[in-house]
């Protein structure tokens, strides 16, 4: 019985020592970068009414409408890329709706978008934006450098 205990203790000690040796070896890791098969191009248009803008002159109102239409187009792109957070509330009392509310929120970072066209149509100013996801991917790769393990070589 004592010989069996010594044998098992020796076996456990050897396995612990051998498994600990694997961290002593040096290794070389090769990474492979993944690229999507398809890159969509997203488009968005933002609108702003000229006459409703604050300003004393038509030029000031036009500049404000240009800014607002650009921001609206960026908001539209953010909705396409990041989605829209919706919050809904409803109060019911005695099986009768008392109040009903819905709010939305958009948040996100848009990099690489370009203005395609900006123009006035009657009393409205419009800005068209384009976001090429290939350019976004290239910006992402240059900043984050995502990778997966391709091969590990132990020495």
Residue 53 in this model has a pLDDT that exceeds 90: yes
Tell me the mean pLDDT in the region 3-19: 57
DSSP secondary structure letter of residue 146: -
The residue-averaged pLDDT of 101-117 equals 93
Q: Is the pLDDT of residue 127 over 60?
A: yes
**Looking at per-residue confidence, does 126 or 7 come out higher?**
126
Q: Looking at residues 116-133, what average pLDDT do you find?
A: 96
Per cent of the chain over pLDDT 70 is 83
Give 11 or 105, the one with higher predicted confidence: 105
d(CA 35, CA 147): 10
Measured in Å, how far apart are the chain's first and last C-alpha atoms? 41
Confidence (pTM): 0.66
Taking residues 9-20, what's their average pLDDT? 57
CB atoms within 10 A of CB 49: 14
| Distance separating alpha carbons of residues 110 and 78, to the nearest angstrom | 7
pLDDT given for residue 39 in this prediction: 93
The pLDDT of 30-53, averaged and rounded, is 89
Mean pLDDT of the chain: 85
DSSP string, 13-73: HHHHHHHHHTTTS-EEEEEE----S---EEEEEEEEESTTS--SSHHHHHHHHHHHHHHHH
Record the tokens describing residue 120, joined without a space: 């006035």
């Amino acid at each position: 019985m004592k010989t069996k205990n010594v044998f098992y203790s020796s076996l456990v000690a050897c396995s612990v020592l051998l498994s600990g040796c694997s961290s002593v070896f040096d290794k070389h890791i090769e990474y492979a970068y993944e690229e999507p098969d398809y890159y969509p191009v997203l488009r968005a248009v933002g609108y702003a009414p000229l006459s409703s803008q604050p300003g004393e002159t038509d030029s000031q109102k036009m500049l404000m409408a240009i800014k607002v239409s650009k921001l609206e187009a960026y908001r539209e792109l953010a909705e396409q890329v990041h989605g829209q957070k919706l919050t809904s509330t409803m109060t019911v009392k005695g099986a009768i709706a008392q109040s009903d509310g819905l709010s939305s929120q958009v948040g996100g970072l848009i990099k690489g978008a370009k203005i395609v066209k900006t123009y006035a149509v009657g009393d409205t100013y419009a800005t068209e934006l384009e976001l090429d996801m290939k350019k976004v991917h290239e910006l992402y790769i240059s900043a984050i450098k995502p990778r997966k393990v391709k091969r590990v070589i132990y020495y």
